[in-house]
Amino acid sequence: MENSQLVEKIGVYLNSELVEKIGVVSVCFILSYLLIKHIWSSVKMEKEPTRVLVTGAAGQIGYALVPMIARGLMLGPEQPVILHLLDIEPAAEALNGVKMELIDAAFPLLKDVIATTDVVEACEGVNIAIMLGGFPRKEGMERKEVMSKNISIYKAQATALELNAADNCKVLVVANPANTNALILKEFAPSIPENNITCLTMLDHNRAIAQIADKLNVHVSDVKNVIIWGNHSSTLYPDVNHATVTSTDGKKLVRELVANDHWVNKELVSRVQQRGAAIIKARKLSSALSAASAACDHVCTWVLGTKKGTWVSMGVYSDGSYGIQPGLIYSFPVTCKNGEWSIVQGLKIDEFSREKMDATEKELIEEKQVAYSCLNSSA
Ligand SMILES: NC(=O)c1ccc[n+]([C@@H]2O[C@H](COP(=O)([O-])OP(=O)(O)OC[C@H]3O[C@@H](n4cnc5c(N)ncnc54)[C@H](O)[C@@H]3O)[C@@H](O)[C@H]2O)c1
Ligand SMILES: O=C(O)C[C@H](O)C(=O)O
């Protein structure tokens, strides 16, 4: 054999061996990748379901909210859930109807539904509690009368949560008066960390964003960092002094873009404060779709976090930030990370804002006094 032929043969042999080796390595690599992918997806499949309590689940907000939770809109598309639905005896049949519909919807993430009128059974092992149930204000009723009825409801439910919920259960109170109901719940569930008891002002936050987006003809997702201060009532204060709009031209302050202080200080404030009443006038029922969506946003943001550089509004336990009486449940701007919220610090507060923030604080202090006088008279 000539030298050149020998070299050629060796070359072919080496190449085929190399090709074979590369082939084996590639197959091993692909198989390992598929195996890891399979193991990873089965680990993900095995996520423990989160137990979510919804009180007043046979009511209108409940009817809009439970499918959102079951669809993964609140806790993400990979988190299975078990729904605990609570309502009172007269609504038991309707509650069972809601359960039937949830079953019929065949939601992949929904692992079980417990529908009950027993508050202890409802609270058993829950990780998240969304409190919609309460006594609605009826024509001719004094605010104090409504409050006294809700106080006894929230006292009983706080005790049931305290004794039966999972450790570190997160609570969102929606039922009105939301801030004061949350305060009562906190009082009677002392072992639930105070930072775990919140109330809904995300609806007001979303309403303010929607009004600004409409005024500036931009999309709601471009409007960031509005603040709702205070009580979920007609004294709440929507503050746009730090709010921005992002566009192709960059980030600009809402106040500068609107360039109309009357609109910002008067019209916007009054529209957001009165929006709940406007919905009631139009629907002859209070807001439900938007309230359910906001409740979903609140829990979702709390659990999964805020985006960098942005905040939302939540009714949370006051630590005295911005001079607000410690211990009140007051709406602040908050950021969320790892399932914890923190009040945004260091924002500049002008004289106009200070006055509005104090007025809504004053109303909450008065509500607290009324609540305590109801508690003392029922003791
Ligand atoms: N914070 C907010 O942004 C906001 C927005 C909208 C509505 N709300 C409030 O949310 C609450 C619910 O609104 P809705 O439209 O669903 O009312 P709804 O009357 O349709 O439903 C309330 C449900 O609570 C039930 N309920 C009453 N007492 C209960 C108890 N002790 N335990 C369990 N369930 C009980 C009722 O049977 C009813 O099914 C109301 O208080 C409303 O004012 C708050
Ligand atoms: O139920 C109400 O009184 C109104 C509700 O809180 C809302 O803001 O839509």
Q: Which tokens belong to 71? A: 């669809």
SS3 (DSSP) at 245: strand
Predicted confidence (pLDDT) per residue in 10-43, tens digit? 555 545 565 566 666 676 667 777 666 665 665 5
Pocket test for ligand 1, best of 54, 85, 174 (most atoms within 8 A of CB): 174
Same domain, 248 and 349: yes
Please tell me the predicted confidence (pLDDT) of residue 141: 72
Same domain, 63 and 191: yes
Phi/psi for 315 (5° steps) reads -80, 110
Same domain, 165 and 249: no
Same domain, 298 and 245: yes
Output the CA–CA distances (angstroms, integers) from residue 324 to 9, 143, 192, 328, in the order listed.
87, 24, 22, 8
Please tell me the predicted confidence (pLDDT) of residue 334: 99
Same domain, 267 and 248: yes
The ligand 1 atom nearest the CA atom of 201: 3
Q: Which tokens belong to 281? A: 């006038």
DSSP 8-state symbol, 265: I
Binding residues for substrate: 137, 143, 176, 207
| Helical residues (DSSP H) of the chain, grouped into ranges | 3-45, 60-70, 92-104, 119-123, 143-164, 178-188, 202-216, 254-258, 261-262, 269-283, 289-304, 351-378
Looking at the domain assignment, is residue 26 inside a domain?
no
Take atom 4 of ligand 2 and give the residue whose Cα is closest.
Answer: 276
CA distance 324 to 128: 27
Please tell me the predicted confidence (pLDDT) of residue 149: 87
Predicted confidence (pLDDT) per residue in 320-365, tens digit? 999 999 999 999 999 999 999 999 999 999 999 999 999 999 999 9
Same domain, 170 and 312: no
Looking at the domain assignment, is residue 147 inside a domain?
yes
Closest listed residue to residue 290, CA positions, set 234, 231, 208: 208
Same domain, 301 and 153: no
Q: Which tokens belong to 44? A: 């993900």
Please tell me the predicted confidence (pLDDT) of residue 5: 62
Same domain, 311 and 352: yes
Can you count the helices (H) and strands (E) in the chain?
Answer: 12, 14
Please tell me the predicted confidence (pLDDT) of residue 32: 72
Looking at the domain assignment, is residue 70 inside a domain?
yes
Number of structural domains found in the chain: 2
117 lines ligand 1 (CB under 6 A): no
- Is residue 58 within 8 Å of residue 80, measured between CB atoms? no
Amino acid in the structure at residue 120:
V
Binding residues for NAD(+): 56-62, 87, 150, 174-176
Classify residue 337 as exposed, middle or buried by CB count within 10 Å of its CB (0-12, 13-18, 19+): exposed
Query: 250: part of which helix (H) or strand (E)?
Result: strand 250-253
- ipTM attached to this prediction: 0.99
Please tell me the predicted confidence (pLDDT) of residue 254: 98
In the residue annotation, 205 being an active-site residue is answered as no
- Which residue positions in the chain have pLDDT lower than 50? 1, 7, 14
Q: Domain ends where: 169, 184, 199?
A: 199
CA distance 290 to 46: 33
Please tell me the predicted confidence (pLDDT) of residue 2: 55
Looking at the domain assignment, is residue 241 inside a domain?
yes
Same domain, 185 and 258: no
Residue 217: how many CB atoms within 10 A of its CB?
Answer: 6
CATH number for the domain spanning 191: value is 3.40.50.720
Same domain, 192 and 245: no
CA distance 75 to 312: 17
**Residue 288 Cα to ligand 2 middle (Å):** 9
Closest listed residue to residue 288, CA positions, set 83, 132, 84: 132
Pocket test for ligand 1, best of 99, 119, 176, 314 (most atoms within 8 A of CB): 176
CATH number for the domain spanning 216: value is 3.90.110.10
Q: Domain ends where: 143, 166, 199?
A: 199
- Is residue 179 within 8 Å of residue 364, measured between CB atoms? yes
Looking at the domain assignment, is residue 207 inside a domain?
yes
Looking at the domain assignment, is residue 60 inside a domain?
yes
CA distance 330 to 183: 10
Please tell me the predicted confidence (pLDDT) of residue 65: 98
pTM across the whole model: 0.90
Looking at the domain assignment, is residue 10 inside a domain?
no
Q: Domain ends where: 142, 166, 199?
A: 199
Residue-number span of the structural domain to which 298 is assigned: 202-367
Same domain, 74 and 171: yes
SS3 (DSSP) at 230: strand
CA distance 228 to 272: 10
Looking at the domain assignment, is residue 13 inside a domain?
no
Q: Which tokens belong to 213? A: 């987006």
Please tell me the predicted confidence (pLDDT) of residue 229: 99
- Is residue 313 within 8 Å of residue 205, measured between CB atoms? yes
Same domain, 330 and 266: yes
